[in-house]
C-alpha cells in the first residue's frame, strides 16, 4: 500500500469525503465493472457499486490494513452484490431479461437497445455476446469467481481474500465454474447455429 493511500485512508477514517473520493478514484470503475458482471445490468451495477462504496466509507474505521485496501474494497462489492442477488431470489424477482413461461410457450423478456440494428443482430451471435449471456445465466457463486478471475484477472490469493474462503475452495470453484461456462456456451452455440440455419 502506498504512503499516499495510507494517508488518504487515515483522512477518510476521520470522515473526510474528499480524501475518500480520491482514495477510491482508482478503484470505483473496477468496482462498478465487477458489479456489472455479477448483477448483469448497468442499473443494478450502479446501485450496488454505490451502495458498496458507501459501505466502504462507513466501515473504513474497521479497516486495519490486514489486507490490501483494494481487496477489501472489492470484497465488499462482491458481498453487496451477492447479498442482493440472494435477497431477490427469495422475493422471486423477475429479471428484465429472464424468460417467463406462459401458456403459449416461452416468452423472452429483453430490454431494447438503441443500437439494435439488423446488422447487430448477427453481432449478437458472436462469441462475446454468448459469453456474456452464459455468464449471466450462471449460479451467482460460480459467476462471481469467473468475474473475478477471468474478467478482472485477480489472483487466487486475492479472490480467496475477497470471498473469505480458502484457496482450495477458490481453486475448485474456479475449475468448476469454467467447466460450467464451457458447457453452457456449447449449448447456446448449438442453439444459435440452429437458429441461423
Partner 1 sequence: MKCETIKNMMSSYIDKDLNNIEKAEFEKHLAECEECRAEYESLTDIIAACGNLEEIELPQNFRTELHQRLNEEKSKRNFFSGIMGSKRMKMAAGLVAAALVIAIGIGGSSLLFDNSMKMAQESAPDMGYGAAPAPAAPPVYYDSDLAVNKAKSREFEMAAAEERGMGEDSVGMQFNESLMAKEMAPSQGLEGQAAESARSGRMVIRSGNISVNVENVDKAAAEIRQMTESSGGYVENSQIDNVTVPQFPVYDAGSEARETTQKYANMTVRVPENRFEDIFNNIKGMGKLVSENISGSDITAEYRDTTARVDNLKIQEQSLQQLMAKAKTVDEILKIESELNRVRTDIDIYTGNLKRWDNLVQLSTIYVYMRELKPEELKSVDVPGTWEKAYQGFIKAVNNVVEGFQKTLIVLVAAIPYLFVAGVIAAIGFLAARKIKLKKKQ
> Rounded distance, CA 45 to CA 192, Å?
28
In angstroms, what is the minimal distance from the CB of 135 to partner 1?
8
Cell 462489492 locates to: 77
* 39 burial via Cβ count (<10 Å: 0-12, 13-18, 19+): buried
Q: What distance separates the 2 farthest-apart alpha carbons in the chain?
A: 63
In angstroms, what is the minimal distance from the CB of 105 to partner 1?
30
Q: Give the nearer residue to partner 1 in terms of CB position, either 54 or 109.
A: 54
In angstroms, what is the minimal distance from the CB of 109 to partner 1?
22
Q: Which helix (H) or strand (E) holds 107?
A: strand 105-108
Is residue 178 within 8 Å of residue 150, measured between CB atoms?
yes
Q: Give the nearer residue to partner 1 in terms of CB position, either 105 or 153.
A: 153
In angstroms, what is the minimal distance from the CB of 184 to partner 1?
10
* 188 burial via Cβ count (<10 Å: 0-12, 13-18, 19+): middle
In angstroms, what is the minimal distance from the CB of 100 to partner 1?
27
Q: Which residues bind partner 1 (CB under 8 A)?
A: 4, 7-8, 15, 17, 20-22, 25-26, 28-29, 32-33, 36-37, 42, 46, 49-50, 53-54, 57-58, 127-128, 131-132, 135, 146, 149-151, 153, 156, 171, 174-175, 178-179, 181-182, 185-186
Q: Give the nearer residue to partner 1 in terms of CB position, either 81 or 146.
A: 146
Q: Give the nearer residue to partner 1 in terms of CB position, either 62 or 106.
A: 62
Cell 424468460 locates to: 99
Amino acid at each position: 500500500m502506498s504512503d499516499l493511500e495510507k494517508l488518504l485512508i487515515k483522512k477518510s477514517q476521520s470522515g473526510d469525503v474528499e480524501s475518500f473520493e480520491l482514495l477510491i478514484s482508482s478503484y470505483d470503475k473496477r468496482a462498478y465493472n465487477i458489479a456489472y458482471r455479477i448483477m448483469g445490468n448497468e442499473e443494478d451495477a450502479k446501485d450496488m457499486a454505490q451502495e458498496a462504496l458507501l459501505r466502504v466509507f462507513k466501515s473504513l474505521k474497521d479497516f486495519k490494513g490486514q489486507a490490501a485496501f483494494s481487496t477489501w474494497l472489492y470484497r465488499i462489492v462482491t458481498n453487496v452484490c451477492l447479498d442482493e442477488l440472494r435477497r431477490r431470489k427469495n422475493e422471486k424477482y423477475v429479471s428484465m431479461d429472464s424468460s417467463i413461461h406462459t401458456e403459449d410457450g416461452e416468452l423472452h423478456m429483453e430490454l431494447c437497445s438503441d443500437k439494435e440494428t439488423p446488422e447487430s443482430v448477427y453481432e449478437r451471435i458472436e462469441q462475446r455476446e454468448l459469453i456474456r449471456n452464459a455468464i449471466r445465466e450462471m449460479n451467482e457463486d460460480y459467476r462471481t469467481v469467473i468475474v473475478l478471475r477471468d474478467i478482472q484477472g485477480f489472483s487466487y490469493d486475492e479472490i480467496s481474500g475477497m470471498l473469505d474462503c480458502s484457496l482450495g475452495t477458490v481453486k475448485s470453484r474456479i475449475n468448476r465454474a469454467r467447466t460450467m461456462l464451457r458447457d453452457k456456451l456449447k449449448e447456446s452455440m448449438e442453439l444459435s447455429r440452429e437458429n441461423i440455419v
